[in-house]
Structure 1
Amino acid sequence: MKLLKNVGEAVGKLTFRMDEVDEYFDLKDDELENWDIQGSRLYAAFSNLVLDQNDLVASTLTSSKALSALANVEEHTGLARALGQLADTEEQLAHFLSVEVEAQSTFLVEYAKGVLSSVQACRDTLAERVRACKMRRDCESALRGKREQKVRIEMSPKADRAKIPILEREIGELAHRVEESEEEFEKISTTIKREFERVDEARFKEFREAVLSYLTMMLQMQEKTLKVWESFVGHAKAIE
């Protein structure tokens, strides 16, 4: 019976539709839906980028080993030296690429994952507001039913009027519960708005920090990459 009750409550929450009177929450619900879609795409794109970069690291290391082996069998001294230097260059590039992969995982993938977690947390919060609204509606419905029952007894000459005091007590209790549920609903709505504002501010701040950290790391790696290639050019020109 407990299982059936839990299932019934879950179904009730799924089928309940509140008539939204606050445009803020209508817009916020659409915004969260868009963030969920775009955040999922962003997470998938960044994850694929990391996978591709890992493949590039592996390929670069393979290239370095192949060049090193070729340098060992090359009879031309200048060319062998240049091939050996190119192998070292490729190995350094592989290291730089691995640092970039780590930066992509740390700053991009984790940011996208954080966005999805934040969206889900916001949706869970909105679900609590819907639950509070449903509780208020249920209390209002129960109160309305008791009042109608009392009116029917008062209008029927054959009704048991001894029930009226009981109904009046129940009506008073339900009216109090309706008032409490309305206050709870308004309190939850106000709290959610305040928390959503904080989440929005934090999200934009986190995005800025993630992008700046990633771009800073990428710039450093690109500068090191340029220096490595510039160093190799001298060895290539020395081939006679």
Structure 2
Amino acid sequence: MGPYREQKCEGDLTKPVNVFHSTGDGMNAYMAYKVSTQTTLPMFRSKMFTVRRRFSDFLGLYEKLLDKHAQSGYIVPPPPEKSIMGMTKVKVGKEDNSSAEFVEKRRAALERYLQRVVCHPSLLQDPDVREFLERDDMPRAHSTQALSGAGFLKMINRATDAVSKMTIKMNESDVWFEDKLLEVEAEDQQLRKLHIMVESLVGHRKELSVNTAGFAKSVAMLGSSEDNTALSRALSQLAEVEDKMEQLHQDQAASDSFCLAELLADYIRLLGSVRASFDQRMKTWQRWQDAQNMLQKKRETEAKLLWANKPDKLQQAKDEITEWEAKVTQYEKDFDRVSSTVRKEVLRFEKEKARDFKKQIIKYLESLLQSQQQVEFWTLVCIHNRLFHTFF
């Protein structure tokens, strides 16, 4: 499977991510990635530049963007999960197909992650993004070293966990948000089910490839030991076809994985970020409601002081009312602002999702068509060589 390359995003900025080298020995080894950027955007110091980054640097960038932008309702694209098992195989030098596949999948996932970040008009303006792409001696992100896959899921869902503890249900004033959240939750369930099925399909294709290779080898050995020349030639040709079929199953398994499984995994994580933006809006609404409740309490306190004729504490109560009135006004504005941002972000997400799925499905169908054309070609070759006639 060739390297995955995304389309250029708006603003003429491309950044292929390549595996640079593995540094260190044994369990202290780590993979370094070369991030090359080519752009015409004036915000960068030059048109072409290259930096080296570790996987933890990508996670560190995500944490910075999450801390600064998630509270405003932005959908911050998540990086790929940290795979301890996959990286352990690479560290101990286990060179097999699964290790090579893991390295390529991570490289492609990191490239897609960066692509989504720089194609976001607000995130691209963030100085941490420009520093990540340009700065050679960027400090190492230490806080992400122990971040496992389970830890990452906890991090992406921390807004959800906070909201679940609230006892007051949000009185939704805009049915659009309620409907969209239901759509997101339903889509998340469907994507997870489909991802499981595709991963199962990939496993079956890989198993079929292994079994086909064994069958081809056995047929070839049988042909080499056969005294009948015609039958020996027929068995040899059959073994040759099965060898090609074995490679075909391998290629199709790779296509299933890179075109479908990886896309689904990306959007399962992205839907987690979408849900987090809805949760942030709910938290902003909750803060507004809490301020309104506090303002009501302050007004009740003022009324009690007036009734009890305590003028010495009345001015303080009035000042507190003024303070909380300002907070209520500000928090309402914050809620309206976050709501507007979430709406725009969700609409933008839906457009990107439709584009990505369309492109990958077309690529997947093309791979199926190519496989079918190869099978048809081999069929013609067999007929031309009178394979079946030779048998009988």
Q: Does 1:175 align with 2:344?
A: no
The structure 2 residue matched to 1:163, chosen from 284, 296, 313, is: 313
Secondary structure, aligned partner of 2:257: helix
Which secondary structure does the structure 1 equivalent of 2:172 belong to? coil
Q: Which residue of structure 2 lines up, in the alignment, with residue 216 of structure 1?
A: 366
Equivalent residue for 2:217?
65
Unaligned runs of 5+ in 1: 1-8
Pairing partner for 1:154 from 289, 306, 316: 306
User: 2:289, 2:230 → 1: CA distance?
Assistant: 86
Where in structure 2 are the equivalents of 1:112-123 lying within 5 Å?
Answer: 112-123=264-275
- Verify: 1:27 aligned to 2:27, yes or no: no
Larger Rg: 1
Could you tell me which runs of 5 or more consecutive residues in structure 2 were left unpaired when the two chains were aligned: 1-160
TM-score (norm 1): 0.92
Query: Is 1:77 matched up with 2:226?
Result: no
Could you tell me which of 227, 238, 241 is aligned with 1:89?
241
Partner of 1:231: 381
Q: Distance in 2 between matches of 1:12 and 1:147?
A: 30
Amino acid at match of 2:199: S
User: How is 1:6-21 mapped onto 2 (pairs within 5 angstroms)?
Assistant: 10=162, 13-21=165-173
2:163–2:282 Cα contact (<8 Å) kept? no
Answer whether contact 1:13 1:131 (CA < 8 A) is retained.
no
Q: How many angstroms does 1:12 deviate by?
A: 7.3
Deviates more, 1:214-223 or 1:227-236: 227-236
Q: Indicate the structure whose relative CO is greater, using CA pairs within 8 Å and at least 6 residues apart.
A: 1
Look up the SS of the partner of 2:169 in the other structure: coil
Shift of 1:115: 2.0
Matching residue within 343, 348, 351 for 1:201: 351
Identity within the alignment, %: 25
- In 1, the alpha carbon distance for the partners of 2:217 and 2:166 equals 59
**Residues 1:134 and 2:293 are matched in the alignment:** no
Q: Shift of the alpha carbon at 1:185?
A: 0.2
- Distance in 2 between the 1:14 and 1:213 partners? 45
- CA apart distance, 1:235: 4.1
- Name the one with the larger strand percent: 2
Letter in 1 for 2:203: L
Which 4+ runs in 1 deviate beyond 6 A?
none
Q: Does the CA contact (< 8 Å) of 2:163 and 2:279 recur in 1?
A: no
Amino acid at match of 2:333: E
Distance in 1 (alpha carbons) for counterparts of 2:170 and 2:312: 37
- Secondary structure, aligned partner of 1:15: coil
How far the C-alpha of 1:161 sits from its partner, in A, is: 1.8
Instruction: Return the alpha-carbon distance in structure 1 between the equivalents of residues 334 and 281 of structure 2.
Output: 9
Whole-angstrom distance in 2 between the partners of 1:12 and 1:193: 22
Aligned to 2:337: 187
Deviation for aligned residue 1:109: 0.4
In terms of fraction of residues, the more helix-rich structure is 1
Q: Could you tell me how far apart the structure 2 residues matched to 1:111 and 1:151 are? A: 60
